[in-house]
Structure 1
Amino acid sequence: MIELLRPWALLLLPLPVLARWLLPALAARAALPVPAAVHELLSALSRSQDARLMGWPASLWLRTIGWVALVAALAGPQTRAGTLLKPTGRDLIVAIDLSASMGQKDMVVDGEEVSRLGVVYDLISEFINKRAGDRVGLIAFSQEAFLIAPLTFDIRAVEGLLDELGIGLPGHRTDLGRAVGLTIQTFRKEPPATRVLIVISDGEDNTGALAVDDAVGLATQHDIRIHTIGFSSDIKPDGAAVLRQMAKVTGGEYFVAQSPQALAEISGEIDRIEPSAIDRSQDAVMRSWSWVALTIALTALAALTWQEIREA
């Protein structure tokens, strides 16, 4: 939508016509106290006062178009080209468990049984899409851990990569220690910032070469706050204990979600704990179109000059 920087300039549009109607008649040799362009327009109007719209002479058309374009350029037409991103100074990584147990269809959505991972995809996609201002990264883990998306402000690109994930991609068991270790390596390469890791797992088969205690200790040394979500219709006590410990030691929060509705509520709670920078009143990047109107005005002036040279 076109916006005007100086909308008051449009009040100048009827100036030539008003000047013709309101200014007193001048003697033939008297100096006209108006700009030359307005004088020419008034003269053309006088010569063609009985003409209809389509019967205007070319010179009058050119003067009219030139005047309208000049006023439009002065009004400053512009459109919104985007918004200025306001960084939060927070780096946030989402780590998603892709072990075989995440493929179990023990969740119900609209009366149909769906897998745990299917529910996670939908809600995490929505969660990431709200993180404007954060640098967001994505890790997939089970037996191994892989950095799917490095830290970036392009949240749409991270969201799009969720569709590329599949059960068992990095193995079939769950190694939470590797996910935390990869997060530490990722953050270590980046400038200082508020560092947050969100781990979503069903808490089953937590085994691996890097003990969770050691991984969490390293995370604490690097000022990484971990929020954990145990997502399962019946999460095991030992799995819940590991996830709870990870959050407690690093100053994060532990959540349990046994249904899609509960996971959605937890997503909202994390939004509250780690507020995003979305601001509907944030500054916009504006694209000016005054040059188009000014080009039209100059073109009309050039055409009028050429016509007068030919008639001279």
Structure 2
Amino acid sequence: MNAKAMSIRTTQSLLLLSMILLLFSTATYAQLRRDYYRHSCPNVEAIVRSAVKKKFHQTFVTAPATLRLFFHDCFVQGCDASVILASRNHGSEKDSPDNLSLAGDGFDTVIKAKAAVDSVPTCRNKVSCADILAMATRDVVALAGGPFYAVELGRLDGRTSTKASVGHHLPGPDFNLDQLSALFAKHGLTLTNLVALSGAHTLGFAHCGRFSDRIYKFRSKNKIDPTLNPVYAKDLQQQCPRKVDPRIAINMDPTTPRTFDNVYYKNLQQGKGLFTSDQSLFTDKRSRYIVNHFASDNTAFKRAFVAAMTKLGRVGVKTGKQGEIRHDCTMVNY
């Protein structure tokens, strides 16, 4: 079988898997609805938005940190706020090597929003941390210039959180399109969803250690990744010298790092994707047309992002005895 035939078969298999998972998951997110707290806490969205806005104005890191926290939560055990749980032996999801770079401002945003909600007597212990995280994520996107969209609510909080559960559920910076597509398909997310969600990299930062091989030792050789824009590569080398602390961070989007827009895709067209996983969306012909479409139409990108976020928010929703509404987002109820 030639490479083209293998690629077609792989794509077909991923589409089939996506359809099966979508049908299987429909029952689990059937409980979600936009007015879920209409009677128990009717002003919950306004309360959360006020708390998030205050945090956002204190530090812009609130936006990318909360957005990334939502992704890392949903991709592991589903959208159940299990990533926020802490353990005395440092053995929870947040302690996994893949999660150690999650900025504390994301956690703090959810905790403060939860406190604001619970300060209202009629709302106390009525709203899950998972739903607060979903609402807070929408709010930071809007505050950064992105779309404001309706959030489906009704998630329960998970009761378990372990390092081991993280496994290989999160995409790596060196992933190619096949690896990314396979990972996203497991959650019922399509190629268009994948490219749209990747646009979240229009905000935030990354540590030098996450991409240093691309600018110094591409494929274990003393050279620069040829898919990188040469001028951009040299700029990255200036910001991240060979022996710099790998925890030093730079903007994911070198052009408009504080605005949620489609410039991320324009950067990819110019070879300015920071991670291999970013640039692969343009170098691979299977997704290039989507990148080009989003780069030329900011409205289309934002519409696709909202659709993808809605689907992502349905992943692994806990129902009945599978979850609870935590009194403290950092620990299970006792």
User: How would you bin the TM-score normalised by the shorter chain?
Assistant: under 0.3
What is the TM-score when the length of structure 2 is the normalising length? 0.18
Structure (1/2) with the larger strand percentage? 1
Higher Cα Rg, which structure: 1
Q: Which has the higher helix share?
A: 2
